[in-house]
Amino acid sequence: MDIARGIGIFFVVYAHTYCPISNLIYLFHMPLFFIISGYFYHQQDSIRETIIKKFKSLIIPYAFFMITLNIIVILLCKFVNKPFWLFPSMLIRPYGVAGTLWFFISLFTVSVMFKIIDSKISNIFFKIISVLIIFSIGQILYRLNIRIPLFIDSSFTALIFYASGYILCKYPIIKYPIYIGCFIMIIWYFIYNYTPKVDLIINSYSDPLCLFVSLGLSFIIICLSEYLEKFKISNILLSYMGKYSMIIFSMHLLVFEFLYFIFPRNNYFSAIIVSILCITTILLLNNLLKIDLVINRLQKYSCPAKHR
């Protein structure tokens, strides 16, 4: 799945530039990461074990990047004599260069929610019904313009993608009816010249039937990643990007600010160049500063195992 993550993280970065197809990319780029996470769901873990594991793998990196990114921004603002404001709410609703960190909080919530559903409900049909009910609650909250702290509303909507990854792993045949639904909805949107508005950070999912498109395109990327494993160059490059996708995901908005001193923000061609340079810069920084090792060390000592 590292190749799928590599493809996904490129689209995440590219969609945050002056990208002419950002509305299309938003249909699947974040659903893809929820689906991949659900694909590797550990059914044997207890609720407590899931909370501990997800705290270490998601909340610890969230705290690390939240602190690090804002310290860098504060120092830069002081250097250029530019004002900077800190608000307590930023700890649970990140903004600015740390804005992408919402995903860590939401994925933690989604993982725990699905573990509770899976632990309490044994029948797969009723599990799916439960997920659909929670998704419907998320849609109601969106239409009533109700936001819940810690991105709970977004997590209600995103849960269905996590569950879909789990179902795809257990029942791979599900991808075929999804492909059919995806094709029908794309034709429908093309005929009516309509693109649904999807932005999970604000729980924006304007058309529930767009689920087929989000799932279908995500499944296609996963299948494409399996095919690309056969090619050495694409395998190495995309797997490497996928391996460090969390760091790229967390740092790319900050790196953009430096690249935009050189490249224009509102240019379609430079958007591709900026995306490639951004990813390359972050991978080089990680190789130099060993950011992944620092995070691994923090995770190792954050929740030490109890000794009997």
Domain residue ranges in the chain: 2-302
Hey, which of 64-78, 227-241, 285-299 has the most confident mean pLDDT? 285-299
What does the pLDDT read at residue 305?
52
Percent over 70 (pLDDT), the chain: 94
pLDDT at 77 over 50: yes
As a whole number of angstroms, the distance between CA 226 and CA 86 comes to: 44
> In the block, which residue shows the tokens 């600015």?
96
Q: Which residues are registered as beta bridge partners of 199?
A: 204
- pTM, two decimals, is 0.89
Using a 10 angstrom Cβ sphere, with 0-12 exposed, 13-18 middle and 19 or more buried, the burial of residue 12 is: buried
pLDDT at 7 over 60: yes
What does the pLDDT read at residue 304?
56
pLDDT at 307 over 50: no
> How does pLDDT run across 215-259, given as a tens digit for each residue?
999 999 999 888 888 888 878 888 899 999 999 999 999 999 889
What does the pLDDT read at residue 253?
92
**Cβ within 8 Å of residue 202, ≥6 positions away:** 147, 154
| Model confidence band, residue 56 (pLDDT cutoffs 50, 70, 90) | very high
Distances (CA, A) of 206 to 140, 142, 157: 11, 8, 11
Report, as an integer, the average pLDDT of 151-174.
92
Q: CA angle, 248 as apex, 21 and 102 as ends, to 5°?
A: 80
| Model confidence band, residue 196 (pLDDT cutoffs 50, 70, 90) | confident
